[in-house]
Amino acid sequence: MLIIFLGVISQWLAWRFRLPAIVLMSIAGLLVGPILNIIHPEESFGELFKPVISLAVAIILFEGSLNLNFKEIRGFNKPVWRIVTFGAFIAWISGSLAAHYIAGLSWAVAFVIGGLFIVTGPTVILPLLRQAKLKARPAAILKWEGIIVDPFGALLALFAFQFVLFAIGDETAGAFGLFFLASLFAVALGAGVGWLLGWMFEKGQVPEFLKAPIVFGVVLLTFVLSDIVMHETGLLAVTAMGMVMANMHIASINDMRHFKENISVLLISSIFVMLTASLSLDVLIEIFNWRIVAFVLATLFVVRPLSIWLSTIGTDLTNQEKTLIGWIAPRGIVALTVSGYFAGVLLEAGFDDAELLTALTFALVFSTVVVHGFTIGWLGRKLGLATGDDPGIIIVGVGRFALKLAEALSEYNKNLLIMDASWGRLQPARLAGMKTFTGEILSEHTEYELDMTPYETMILAGEIDSYNALVMNNYVPEFGRENLYKTAIHQGDPGDYHSSLKGRTLFGHEWNIHELDMKAEEGYTIRKTQLTEQYTYEDYKKKWSADTILLFIYREQGKIEFFTSDNFPEPKLGDTVVSFTSPARQSDRIQERLENKRAKNNSPQPKE
């Protein structure tokens, strides 16, 4: 209970205070584990400790690979493949040299751990990408590298271990053949199972309510079957399975992806707490060994940048992108769990210096998670590779009122986008100089043509309630219900849509999109009123008529707050109240402008 609670509360605190979630989870585990000695997960779980973590890693890696659609890297697939092949090889060789000459490990142990340390993985990179809001290209490259290299890092370490056993005479040359055959079997098994599941889903052989549970069970089965053939090949199998399903264009893939995403967040939270809580004080003290500290610094500032810059020579990556990608490489759960396995087998093989692996791995994992977690957003902004702190707004649907609302919002939010499936309907917005996108928001094609990372809020102003319901249900996982707004229901009883339209209703239940468009046709205009000491909110309310529709408040700090059916924000001095007003109020508006101008003239002027 404590592990799960600490995991999810760390995620919430990270979201609330904009901190790296993995850092908080690691700190929480250290506090309740080796520091305060409250829990001992390895002792409590006993023989189930390692299997539980391994199965959780399989689910997390599958969920990550389910996002690897080849359309996403169209146009920059060359740097991706260079990084996960040539870059990984450079990282292995240079990391092994650093482990031997700096950390003082024997050649055998150095090459095993050097292979393992090429991994980043979805357990650490995906939470950081969600936090940093990088632009599409660097984010996609980091995501693909993390997910693809994760199983290959474990296999590379396994290959190095097999070579070590062969060199000391404990293995025959046939062991290498078995290794490659087992790897091919893992890929074939994962790809075959993924294709079969996808085919069954598309042919209607599995009911909707069983799709996610069946995928969940089959992922675990595929992982275990492959791992029985050869240790650590299960990660390769589930990665192949996820990639095949991601590229089959399965209609229900989004439902499965959201389910897996929820499960993986819970698992990542819990497992990081478990692993850090299982460390001993001796390991924590050992990480301050000067050799370990020097190795971590060499990995951060030499090994990683070198592998990225050399592997991307001849690609179209900019220097800024190379710098960012060459810096960001946090290690995570796979490095922690697999290093424990190799520490055991290397010690059994007679390599006593393998005792250092646990401390070395934790030092690298914790250091990279903390350093990269706190710098990814800052560095992305400095290099111009972040989407910015100004959260964007998408308006779906373009009518008379939607255009007026967009014009008002564009004055306060420069990152505004208007979407519609009709190119012609968007013409007035284009002529007004606003950013537009022609396309169906529910189409898979739109997901790859339009980067939605910069946008935090979505307003649904379509004319059909059922369409708005579909869009809202589709984008709840990405935006959250608190950031999804819709106009009021205008067809039938609003209660009929209670289960499907759970976003926030703009401006009140009486103002549906048809009523608002009608008001726009009657000549209603946008009115902006800044509240001052001379013209307060009380003064504004005195002149507030029944035909005034309050739209939003622009706070003095730069934040936009909408008036909704369940939220009526209170304006303060310095705020600007934006409303939709009858033409009959035009004379009042002129009078108000005169009063504001008079107030400015009467206010004391700053001394020169």
Count up the domains in the chain and report the number: 3
Nearest residue to 476 via CA among 458, 489, 499, 462: 458
Does residue 182 fall inside a structural domain? yes
pTM higher than 0.75? no
pLDDT value at residue 608:
38
Residue-range definition of the domain harbouring residue 74: 2-382
> Among the three residues 326, 349, 382, which one is the final residue of a domain in this structure?
382
Does residue 289 fall inside a structural domain? yes
DSSP string for 370-386: HHHHHHHHHHHHHTT-B
Reported as a single tens digit per residue, the pLDDT across 442-461 is 776 666 567 677 778 888 88
Q: Do 31 and 89 lie in a common domain?
A: yes
Mean model confidence pLDDT for the chain: 79
Where is mean pLDDT largest: 198-207, 290-299, 342-351, 457-466? 290-299
Q: What is the CATH number of the domain that holds 504?
A: 3.40.50.720
Reported as a single tens digit per residue, the pLDDT across 124-168 is 777 777 677 777 788 888 888 887 787 777 777 878 877 777 776
Q: Do 455 and 308 lie in a common domain?
A: no
Name the percent of the chain lying above pLDDT 70. Answer: 84
Does residue 328 fall inside a structural domain? yes
Q: Do 290 and 187 lie in a common domain?
A: yes
DSSP string for 36-79: T----HHHHHGGGHHHHHHHHHHHHHHHHHTT--GGGGTT-HHH
Does residue 608 fall inside a structural domain? no
- Which conformational region is residue 433 in: left (phi greater than 0), alpha (psi within -120 to 50 degrees), or beta? left
Q: Do 310 and 217 lie in a common domain?
A: yes
Q: What is the CATH number of the domain that holds 74?
A: 1.20.1530.20
pLDDT value at residue 607:
45
Q: Do 208 and 224 lie in a common domain?
A: yes
Q: Do 454 and 349 lie in a common domain?
A: no
**pLDDT band of 372, cuts 50, 70, 90:** confident
Does residue 579 fall inside a structural domain? yes
Q: Do 377 and 395 lie in a common domain?
A: no
> Among the three residues 490, 512, 534, which one is the final residue of a domain in this structure?
512
Q: What is the mean pLDDT of residues 580-606?
A: 61
Reported as a single tens digit per residue, the pLDDT across 338-347 is 777 777 778 8
Q: Do 265 and 281 lie in a common domain?
A: yes
> Among the three residues 362, 382, 402, which one is the final residue of a domain in this structure?
382
Does residue 517 fall inside a structural domain? no
In this structure, what token pair is assigned to residue 372? Answer: 């990269």
Q: What is the mean pLDDT of residues 116-128?
A: 75
d(CA 26, CA 33): 10
Q: Do 347 and 423 lie in a common domain?
A: no
Q: Do 32 and 121 lie in a common domain?
A: yes
Q: Do 372 and 409 lie in a common domain?
A: no
Reported as a single tens digit per residue, the pLDDT across 51-78 is 888 888 788 778 777 767 676 666 667 8
Q: What is the mean pLDDT of residues 23-30?
A: 84
Q: Do 586 and 478 lie in a common domain?
A: no
Does residue 144 fall inside a structural domain? yes
